[in-house]
């Protein structure tokens, strides 16, 4: 079956290159889910910018189901996509379908999530994901003045990481943990639950409900009297906004308010979380402007189809090969600068954040 599919793909590409243009300039864009705000924005930005550049776009969302994403990619290949842009659900689970695309000569760009354990990936566009974690960790260092020798703490902290099947999740966690480790070692930060391993603090599918349930358990087990004079939680370091939203919901349900809620980090500046920042219920969120990422990916697609070597500024080891990448730069947003970053830039309107 695989050989038959490869023959069909080769025929489609031959016809296209011969000028029959069954899919000239066609780009397949595979997104993981519509259940998270950021992927809706990524998909919309990608489609709009690719179409503005003159490409035909086949945009598909896979509802966080690997089998669905595989099927969608197979259809994109058979329908004549000349480039595939893939934001994977599980970066290590697409090897067979990607190998089919590679055999057919279709370039593959991993989008914000690295495709791992496969030779069949040509480029990677992303943000510096280790840097994302570092920004979160440094925010905590600065907020609690941890680098000041006169500050001894200890301050309590709990970690909530992302999905274990997302290669980025480990990088986010590592960047934050490595930044905070000197202060953990010095005793300025303490983890009452003792949960400091990625595998333990990870949140499958980045689900808010899962992070909320886990924080419920942590509060009842380790902070039962947090609001009545017992051990209180100072910091909840969350890798992204969907996990942060679950943690915030748990804390609010337990009786925390904007006046005494822990410092909560996040990532993506989702609308609900930005509203929480404005209301004092979340401290910060790392802003990764998906318009910038989409723009860089569109440039890469254009270069590939023009026979030009795309611009890159880094490499990532996907366990099989070194993948050339372009890393965009993230920044952090909080209540003091969200207007400039999110509203003045046109990312959101004021009405969206009311």
Q: What is the pLDDT of residue 110?
A: 97
Superfamily of domain 2-121+289-328: Response regulator (3.40.50.2300)
pLDDT value at residue 207: 96
Beta pairing class for 26-31 and 56-61: parallel
Could you write out the three-class secondary structure of 289-341? CHHHHHHHHHHHHHHHHCCCCCCCCEEEECCCCEEEEEEECCEEEECCCHHHH
Q: Does domain 129-287+349-353 have CATH number 1.10.3720.10?
A: no
Rounded to whole angstroms, how far apart are CA atoms 315 and 9?
Answer: 29
Q: What is the pLDDT of residue 15?
A: 38
> To 10 degrees, what angle do helices 208-222 and 241-253 make?
40
Helix, strand, coil shares of the chain as percentages rounded to 5? 45, 15, 40
Domain edges within the chain: 2-121+289-328, 129-287+349-353
- In 3D, which of 348, 316, 313, 307 has the Cα closest to residue 329? 313
The predicted pLDDT at position 35 comes to: 86
pLDDT in tens, the chain (354 residues): 444 444 444 444 443 433 333 335 999 999 999 988 889 989 998 999 999 999 999 999 999 999 999 999 999 999 999 999 999 999 999 999 999 999 999 999 999 999 999 999 999 999 999 999 999 999 999 999 999 999 999 999 999 999 998 989 999 999 999 999 999 999 999 999 999 999 999 999 999 999 999 999 999 999 999 999 999 999 999 999 999 999 999 999 999 999 999 999 999 999 999 999 999 999 999 999 988 999 999 999 999 999 999 999 999 999 999 999 999 989 999 999 999 999 999 999 999 999
What pLDDT is attached to residue 36? 84
Number of residues that this document lists for the chain: 354
Cα dihedral value 127, 56, 91, 39, nearest 10: 60
- Kindly list the distances between the CA atom of residue 280 and the CA atoms of 48, 251, 267, 293, 305, in Å, as whole numbers in the listed order: 34, 13, 16, 29, 47
pLDDT at 38: 85
Res 24: pLDDT: 53
Predicted pLDDT at 3: 45
Let me know: does 94 contact 110? Beta carbons within 8 Å.
no
pTM of the complete model: 0.82
Are the C-beta atoms of 286 and 331 separated by less than 8 Å? yes
Residue 336 is predicted with a pLDDT of 95
Cα(313)–Cα(326) distance, integer angstroms = 5
- Please indicate whether the domains covering 2-121+289-328 and 129-287+349-353 agree at the CATH topology level: yes
């Amino acid at each position: 079956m695989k050989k038959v599919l490869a023959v069909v793909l080769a025929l489609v590409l031959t016809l296209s290159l011969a000028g029959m243009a069954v899919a000239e300039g066609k780009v397949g864009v595979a997104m993981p889910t519509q259940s998270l705000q950021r992927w809706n924005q990524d998909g919309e930005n990608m489609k709009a910018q690719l179409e503005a550049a003159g490409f035909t776009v086949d945009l598909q969302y896979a509802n966080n189901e690997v089998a669905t994403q595989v099927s969608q990619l197979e259809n994109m290949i058979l329908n004549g996509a000349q480039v595939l842009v893939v934001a994977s659900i599980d970066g290590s689970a697409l090897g067979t379908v990607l190998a089919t695309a590679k055999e057919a000569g279709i370039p593959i760009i991993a989008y914000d999530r690295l495709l791992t354990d496969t030779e069949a990936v040509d480029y990677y566009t992303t943000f510096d994901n280790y840097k994302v974690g570092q920004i979160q960790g440094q925010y905590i260092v600065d907020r609690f003045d941890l680098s000041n020798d006169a500050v001894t703490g200890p301050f309590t902290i709990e970690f909530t990481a992302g999905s274990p099947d997302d290669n980025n999740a480990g990088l986010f966690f590592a960047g934050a943990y490595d930044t905070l480790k000197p202060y953990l070692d010095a005793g300025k930060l303490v983890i009452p639950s003792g949960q400091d391993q990625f595998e333990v603090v990870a949140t499958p599918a980045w689900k808010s409900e899962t992070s909320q349930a886990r924080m419920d358990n942590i509060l009842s087990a380790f902070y039962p009297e947090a609001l009545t004079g017992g051990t209180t939680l100072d910091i909840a370091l969350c890798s992204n906004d969907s996990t942060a939203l679950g943690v915030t919901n748990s804390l609010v349900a337990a009786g925390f308010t904007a006046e005494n809620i822990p410092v909560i980090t996040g990532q993506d500046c989702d609308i609900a979380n930005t509203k929480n920042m404005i209301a004092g219920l979340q401290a910060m969120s790392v802003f990764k402007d998906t318009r910038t990422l989409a723009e860089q990916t569109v440039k890469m697609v254009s270069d590939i189809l023009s026979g030009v070597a795309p611009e890159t500024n880094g490499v990532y080891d996907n366990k099989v090969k070194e993948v050339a990448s372009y890393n965009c730069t993230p920044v952090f947003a909080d209540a003091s600068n969200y207007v400039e970053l999110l509203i003045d830039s046109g990312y959101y309107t004021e009405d969206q954040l009311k």
